[in-house]
Structures are given as C-alpha cells and as structure tokens.
C-alpha cells in the first residue's frame, strides 16, 4: 500500500548493470578487480541517474508530492524522509527549531505531505469500527472520492485535524457520523508510524534535543528549555528587570 510506484524494481536495476559491466564478472572480488583496471569513463557508466531509477520522469510533480519543506503558521520546516519499515525514523520527519515550538499548532502536521496523504486516509478508514467501516467500501475508492473535496490548505491554516476534515466529508456524502476527536485518538494509537509525522526538536546549533511522534508531548518535554531559549533570544530593548512601577508611557485612550 505504502509504495507509490516511484522506483523501478530490482530486475530493471540488474539489467542496467548487465549492460554496463563486462561479461564474466559474477562476484564482488571480480568487480573490485575490474574497477581497479577500469578508467574513469568506464566507472562513470555504473553511476545511476535519476531517470534510471524513477518510473516517472515528472520531477516537478515528485517534488510537489514529497516536498523538502512544510509551511505551518507562517514558518517553514525542513522535512526528511526515511523508508525503513519498523525503524523509529520511518516515514517523514519535521525538523522544528526549539524557538519555534511554543506557538506551533498541532493539527497541520496530521496531513503529512501530499504523496503520503492518500495512504494515510485509507489506513484511517480501515481503523474505524466495523459497523462504520463497512459503509465505506471499497475503501480506496471512497478515499479517492473524498480527497478532491478536502480543502487542505484552509484546514491546515485553521488548525483542523485530518480526522475532522474527513469526518465532515463522510457525513455529507455517506450520511455517516464519526466523532473526529475519538477517531484521531484511535488512529494515533493503532496506525503505523509511517502514517504519523515524526518530529525532531533542534537547538540553535542543530543538535537534536528530543524526538517523537506526539508534538504535544514534545512541547511539554521542552518547556523548560523553551523558556530559556526565549529568554536568550529576547532583545535587550524588550527586556527590563527590577521594575517597581509602570514605565511604559501613557496608553492611548480607546475612542
């Protein structure tokens, strides 16, 4: 389900090397011996290019589906991708500077990135109780009908969860009521890590302070460090100590 048919298979890769390696090389030792004798031009023929491994040549669309950054609340956060099922870094990771953590909304990250959204929606519906799930079959077709109706940018800007947006559309088009809060909590508990955004909280030197999949928990873990960070970066022009009386000037009367 999670593989989006972006890459060629092993048979195609094997054929590539068969075309560019001399006959008779059937072992690692044989390959290493040939590489020592081969010139730079011959060695360069073994370097795979993007077009050799991608099934699609639409690079712009690929970038749109799996962007390098995610924009949330007027800020841009770097993304890292990892395809290692079972590994704690599997999926997509958002790099969050400590100083940006305090006022960060949680729900925009539910939406992951466009290239992973369809698979997540399918798994979310499959996680519903049977009584609800059986009214939304076949699941892939239901998701394909709902995705164009989701106002992704608006929902992210208004801090609406993916569960809320899906539940609203399911109520409209399938006359099925789903509690979005309960649904989201259930998905957080049962979905594969691949379907949940991973976060790394970095200090100003790029050192990872904390990481995990639940942003609210990371905010709590970083609370003390966040207070220190805000104090460090506060401008001297706005920091005043030992005040015993109002010294900020007169406030304009509200008309």
Residues 103 and 42 reside in one and the same domain: no
What range defines the domain where residue 86 resides?
Answer: 62-195
Domain annotation covers residue 208: no
Residues 20 and 88 reside in one and the same domain: no
The closest alpha carbon to 167, from 146, 148, 188, 152, belongs to: 146
Phi then psi for residue 75, to 5 deg, are -125, 155
Domain annotation covers residue 168: yes
Chain-centre distance for alpha carbon 180: 21
Gap between the Cα atoms of 198 and 79, Å rounded: 10
Domain annotation covers residue 148: yes
Torsion, Cα of 157, 162, 168, 171 (10° steps): 170
Gap between the Cα atoms of 102 and 14, Å rounded: 50
Residue in this structure with the two tokens 């009367």, named with its chain if needed: 253
pLDDT tens, residue by residue, 55-110: 655 555 777 888 999 999 999 999 999 888 889 999 999 999 998 987 899 999 99
Q: Which of 195, 223, 247 is the last residue of a domain?
A: 195
Domain annotation covers residue 245: no
pLDDT tens, residue by residue, 107-129: 999 999 998 999 999 999 999 99
Domain annotation covers residue 85: yes
Count of the separate structural domains present in the chain: 2
CB atoms within 10 A of CB 203: 14
pLDDT band at 1 (very low <50, low <70, confident <90, very high): very low
Q: For the chain, count helices (H), then strands (E).
A: 13, 5
Domain annotation covers residue 37: yes
Please give the order of strands across the beta sheet that includes 75-82. 69-72, 75-82, 91-97, 198-202, 208-212
């Amino acid at each position: 389900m999670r593989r989006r048919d972006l890459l060629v298979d092993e048979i195609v890769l094997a054929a590539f090397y068969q075309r560019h390696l001399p006959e008779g090389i059937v072992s690692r030792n044989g390959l290493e011996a040939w590489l020592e004798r081969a010139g730079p031009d011959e060695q360069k023929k073994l370097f795979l290019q993007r077009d050799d491994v991608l099934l699609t040549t639409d690079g712009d669309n690929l970038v749109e589906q799996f962007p390098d950054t995610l924009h949330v609340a007027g800020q841009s956060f770097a993304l890292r991708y990892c395809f290692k099922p079972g590994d704690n870094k599997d999926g997509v990771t958002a790099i969050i500077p400590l100083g940006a953590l305090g006022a960060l909304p949680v729900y925009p990250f539910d939406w992951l990135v466009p290239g992973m959204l369809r698979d997540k929606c399918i798994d979310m519906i499959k996680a519903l109780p049977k009584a609800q799930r059986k009214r939304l079959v076949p699941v892939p077709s239901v998701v394909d009908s709902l995705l164009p109706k989701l106002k992704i940018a608006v929902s992210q800007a208004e801090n609406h969860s993916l569960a809320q947006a899906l539940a609203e559309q399911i109520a409209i088009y399938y006359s099925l009521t789903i509690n979005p809060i309960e649904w989201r909590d259930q998905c957080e508990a049962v979905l594969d890590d691949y379907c949940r955004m991973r976060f790394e909280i970095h200090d100003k030197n790029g050192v990872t302070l904390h990481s995990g999949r639940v942003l609210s928990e990371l905010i709590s873990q970083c609370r003390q460090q966040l207070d220190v960070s805000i104090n460090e970066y506060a401008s001297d022009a706005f920091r005043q100590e030992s005040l015993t009386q109002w010294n900020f000037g007169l406030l304009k009367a509200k008309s």
